[in-house]
Amino acid sequence: MILDSDLLHCFSTMDEILETLNSKQKEAVVKTEGPVLILAGPGSGKTRCITHRLAYLILQKHVNPAAILSITFTNKAANEMKIRTIKLLQEHNLKVKSLPWLGTFHASCVKILRREGKHLPYGSDFVIYDSKDQEETVKKSLLELHLDPKKFSPTNVLYTISSAKNELITAKEYVNHAHGYFQEIVAKVYPKYQSILRKNKALDFDDLIMETIFLFQEVPEVLHKYQNQFQYIQVDEYQDTNKSQYLLTKLLASNHHNICVVGDPGQGIYSWRGADIRNILEFEKDYPEVKVIKLEQNYRSTKTIISAAKQILEVNTDYPSMKLWTENFEGSRISIYEAYSEKDEALFLTDTIKSLLNYGENGEKLFQYSDFAVLYRTNAQSRILEEVLIREGVPYKLLGGVKFYERKEVKDVLAYLKFLANPADMIAWERIQKLGKRRSQKFIDWKEKSNLEKSSSAEILDSILKETGYLEYINNGSEEGISRVENVKELRSVAQSFDRLQDLLENIALIQDEVTPEGQKTDDQNNNSVVLMTLHSAKGLEFPIVFLAGCEEGLLPHSRAMTDKHELEEERRLCYVGITRAKQKLYMTYASKRQIFGAETFGAISRFIEDIDKDLLSWEQ
């Protein structure tokens, strides 16, 4: 056992640790034997519960830390949990020579593969290719197969291979799963890609999990070794697991069943990444003897916000919703604002933020810029928000994303436009050439035969996209690919406001060079900034004041989800995640008229607002 000999005092302090928890959290901490499903609502102290559970296993159950495997989804979450666990143990005078295996799925699998190199054809000294290395390897594979990387985007091919690996479909098997021309191409590239990886003694991120599973299946004694080592397994954010992650944990826990999974079906929003919400919904089928514990007390939000969040999910009949409750104060009603247009919406958000930057009786600020977050469904929505915030001198930063005019696809299309306006712009021409020889030649051929003097900015942009096939080039059908297309279409919305191409480019250049009244650019290095992010990026975060923008049919829920029940329910969960980010005040805004992806639309208020009791809402003028 890797513990100091002086532990009697430490064990007596376990009651002190439990005293800081509520009854349900205590139940989750002390229930260590057998399968446990902790359904943790937003703001319910989930991380606190998990770290105390680790401390309980070590302090009270005398478990060797090396016998505990605790898996999180991000390195940030793993580091936070590690710091909290160490602090908790130190507070009770316990020094350990090692900590539990605490990390992401990928980090845990790397450890195992390094240790078991003698069973692997590539040994234990393999390298791990990052996303750039992977794309270069796909590009090399395409060229060796005499396929044009400009026609078959390496990014798109890699996304498809990654999806296959997450489903544990090997390069040899993929041909039996390929449907359509593009996937038939991938069926040729996938084996070549794997061959190059093996030749270079390299693994990609998806290989790390898949190869560990194959190792366990092919070498039973290795599986038994880790089944015996990991007597206690914890998995956070279980609703976000995919097939390979699900199978990995099931294999490791198949003997002792001491597996504790933590999650919230109501926050399952990553199906487009391969996450399968059925993993958490059907956990009780996998482990009939499971103990289900619900953490339903919310410590984050007001009663009003919690009531609204509950009502959003109650419409969902696929699974029982959490009965969230809080002892926090009632709070003000949720403010609903109907904007005339997306610009009016952005101005309302900006003016409201500025008006709330008041000072208290002693001269202290009641709120600062970093207390505000603006959440939206699509990346493209940030464009008008960024422009208005810049012009109004409000500092902002984007979390989990890139500023609109710095996004690759936007810069690509702007390169075409800049070269048309100024053929001497070699920076723009070099960027165009990087998009493919055939594509750049088509662009030149079109340029020479076109009469640009009589065309508007939007017409020119439309022609470029049509002639070069750029939208097809960037769209791989994934959420990211669709987002790239939406960003280009949003650029077209900007172009519609400027008849002359030169005026469009001049306006964009001035926006990018705007400074705040303090003379500082609104860059991401300023911590006291309004935070802009998509709803997907907001998960796990909280802010005193939250604006949920674009709450209209077609945006939230997204138009793509309208005809699919499961996708529509995921949109509902996405709205739920957004609402539960707010601590003190929530605003939900929508526009009666909006330029969406280059087309003017007249939107109806989101069904999700309609699902909230009117007594909880206040309509802004």
Binding residues for ATP: 40-47
The pair of structure tokens assigned to 473 is 């080039």
With tokens 């539960």, the residue in question is 580
Helix (H) or strand (E) holding 432: helix 426-433
Cα–Cα distance for residue pair 60/490, rounded to 1 Å: 57
Beta strands in 456-576, from DSSP E residues, in sequence order = 530-534, 543-548
Give the burial string for 50-68 (b: 16+ CB within 10 Å, else e).
bbbbbbbbbbbeebbbbbb
- What is the distance between the alpha carbons of residues 138 and 197, in angstroms, rounded to a whole number? 10
Give tens-digit pLDDT for 28-53.
999 999 999 999 999 999 999 999 99
Tally Cβ neighbours within 10 Å of residue 380.
26
Q: pLDDT, tens digit, for every residue of 147-182?
A: 988 788 898 899 999 999 999 999 999 999 999 899
pLDDT, tens digit, for every residue of 332-383? 999 999 999 999 999 999 999 998 987 555 556 689 999 999 999 998 899 9
Helix (H) or strand (E) holding 569: helix 565-579
User: In this structure, what DSSP letter does residue 44 have?
Assistant: S
- Quick one: tokens of 528? 């006291």
Annotated binding residues: 40-47
Q: Which of 256-260, 456-460, 549-553, 599-603 has the lowest mean pLDDT?
A: 599-603
> Which domains are present in the chain?
5-108+210-295 (3.40.50.300), 129-198 (1.10.10.160), 309-395+528-619 (3.40.50.300), 405-515 (1.10.486.10)
Pairing of strands 593-596, 599-602: antiparallel
How high does pLDDT run on average in the chain? 88
Rounded to an integer, the average pLDDT of 279-302 is 95
Rounded to whole angstroms, the Cα distance separating 268 from 35 reads 21
Query: Could you list the active site residues?
Result: 46-47, 236-237, 267, 581
Residues 459 and 446: their CA atoms lie apart, in Å, by 13
Kind of pairing, strands 372-376 and 543-548?
Answer: parallel
Which residue intervals of 315-374 are DSSP H helices? 342-355
